[in-house]
Amino acid sequence: MSSRHLERPQSNWDWRAAGNFVFGGAGAGLALFGALCAPAALRVPLVLAGMALVGLGLLCVWLEIGRPLRAFNVVVHVRTSWMSRESLAAIALFALGLALLAGVAVPGWPIALAAAVFLYCQARLLGAARGIPTWRHPITVPALVLTGLAEGMGLFWLIAAWSGPPLILALPLAALVMLRALLWRLWRVRIGEHAALGALRAVDRIAPVTRWVGSVAPLALLALAAATTALPAVQATLLALAGLCATAAGWTFKFTLVTRTGFQHGYSLPRMPVRGVPRTTPR
């Protein structure tokens, strides 16, 4: 009996868990690029916006906990839990962001490092789910990290496009979108052999969004923006739309990944045992 017939969807993680990946990953990416790339006038607002999204994602997780008042226990298992490491990275990010808000001259690299560690630890949460083929696949972790970075750069342009950041910063968004598209496609091909049919159908249903909205549209909009340097308002609108498309597709992918593809792996029984029939060793 094929294991695909024995797989069943997990019931522990719902939209609240997905909210942590949707908002937290994008917020970490925004804080990272806000700290490193933003103009001086926008550095603090972008970092704080990234922190707010990370906080919103953690709030979603807190709502999912059966005993919310015991949420502090999550930070005491750093040696064994990626959720504990994610929480500590978030605390470091919040501390640095609040120091920045208070007027402390915080360099950009510690904020970016804390955001990157948060994003990596968050991705490892799914990678550690050994019983779910679509989550445990080795490509899932880099796909989630790259998706969070693309969302962060997309939000960067969505917020900052009308403030005149240099157009050269559109190149990282284009590169991230292209790399993400390649990784998404590779992930879909590689999980095809082991994932449940329901998971594959869910991924295929959002393929038009990930392909056209998440990849083709942002690249086309960025190309048009590069050709409209004489029209600053039009160029800013195109850049913002490119960022919006890149972010929306990433959120769609992650929400589907968490809530629609989490089928637990069943048993594989290629040969059913029958009482009274001697066991033979296959040649």
- Residue range 187-209, pLDDT digits in tens: 999 999 889 999 999 999 999 99
**pLDDT, average across residues 157-162:** 96
pLDDT above 70: residue 238: yes
Look up the CATH number of the domain holding residue 98. Answer: 1.20.1630.10
Alpha-carbon span 83 to 90, nearest angstrom: 10
Q: Which residues contact 49 (CB under 8 A, 6 or more apart)?
A: 27, 30, 34, 155, 159
Q: Which range marks the domain in which residue 217 is found?
A: 3-264
Alpha-carbon span 118 to 219, nearest angstrom: 28
In a domain, 273, yes or no: no
Predicted structure pTM score: 0.89
Average per-residue pLDDT for the chain: 88
pLDDT band at residue 246 using 50, 70 and 90 as cut-offs: very high
Q: Which residues pair with 242 in a beta bridge?
A: none
pLDDT band at residue 12 using 50, 70 and 90 as cut-offs: confident
pLDDT above 50: residue 5: no
Residue 27's pLDDT is what? Answer: 98
Alpha-carbon span 111 to 95, nearest angstrom: 9
In a domain, 269, yes or no: no
**pLDDT, average across residues 229-239:** 94
**pLDDT, average across residues 255-266:** 88
Residue 250's pLDDT is what? Answer: 98
In a domain, 197, yes or no: yes
pLDDT band at residue 283 using 50, 70 and 90 as cut-offs: very low
In a domain, 258, yes or no: yes
Q: Which residues contact 31 (CB under 8 A, 6 or more apart)?
A: 46, 47, 50, 51, 54, 93, 97, 111, 112, 114, 115, 152
Q: What is the DSSP letter of 76?
A: G
Number of domains in the chain: 1
Listed residue (141, 140, 158, 117) closest to 28, CA to CA: 117
**pLDDT, average across residues 232-240:** 96
Counting residues of the chain whose pLDDT is more than 70, the rounded percentage is 86
DSSP E strands, the chain = 8-9, 263-264
Residue 69's pLDDT is what? Answer: 53
Residue 279's pLDDT is what? Answer: 58
pLDDT band at residue 185 using 50, 70 and 90 as cut-offs: very high
pLDDT tens digits, residue range 80-123?
688 889 989 999 999 999 999 999 989 999 999 999 999 999 99
Instruction: Please tell me whether residue 9 adopts helix, strand or coil conformation.
Output: strand
pLDDT tens digits, residue range 40-75?
889 999 999 999 999 999 998 887 765 555 555 666
**pLDDT, average across residues 175-186:** 98
Q: Which residues contact 192 (CB under 8 A, 6 or more apart)?
A: 200
Residue 1's pLDDT is what? Answer: 41
**pLDDT, average across residues 124-146:** 93
Residue 281's pLDDT is what? Answer: 52
256, 13 in Cβ contact below 8 A?
no
pLDDT band at residue 268 using 50, 70 and 90 as cut-offs: very low
